[in-house]
């Protein structure tokens, strides 16, 4: 059903609508609300994170967690995403966030 409503380019990480709706014409691309933010896509009345939709689009399954390897929330290229555990995802925190988190715990 997902592939019938939108296309995904694994090289760019961009989703494009195939079907016009009340709010957007066919051919609309989905992007982040602001640079560095997660891309959210409304599908069948539910909001989804685009990186999770990208994983399902390519692999057909949804893992517990998906990690952005380069720490950029708006980079949804399949080569930048990996299935991981929560612990693995925490280990891949951006160095600046890691320092901030350790300061918060002091």
Read off the pLDDT of residues 44-73 as tens digits, 9 standing for 90 and up.
889 999 999 999 999 999 999 999 999 899
b/e burial code for range 45-69 (CB count within 10 A of at least 16 → b):
eeebebbbbbbbbeeeeeeeebbbe
Q: Residue 43: pLDDT band by 50, 70, 90 thresholds? A: confident
Q: What is the dotted CATH code of the domain comprising 2-104?
A: 3.90.75.20
Asked if 16 and 29 touch (Cβ cutoff 8 Å), the reply is yes
pTM: 0.81
Q: Determine the Cα–Cα distance for residues 98 and 73; give it in Å rounded to an integer.
A: 16
């Amino acid at each position: 059903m997902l592939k019938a409503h939108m296309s995904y380019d694994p090289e760019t990480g961009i989703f494009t609508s195939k079907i016009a709706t009340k709010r957007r014409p066919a051919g609309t691309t989905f992007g982040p609300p602001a640079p560095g933010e997660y891309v959210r896509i409304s599908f069948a009345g539910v909001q989804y994170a685009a990186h999770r939709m990208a994983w399902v689009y390519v692999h057909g399954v949804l893992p517990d967690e998906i990690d952005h390897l380069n720490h950029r929330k708006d980079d949804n290229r399949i080569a930048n995403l990996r299935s991981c555990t929560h612990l693995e995802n925490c280990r891949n925190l951006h160095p600046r966030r890691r320092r901030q988190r350790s300061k918060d715990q002091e």
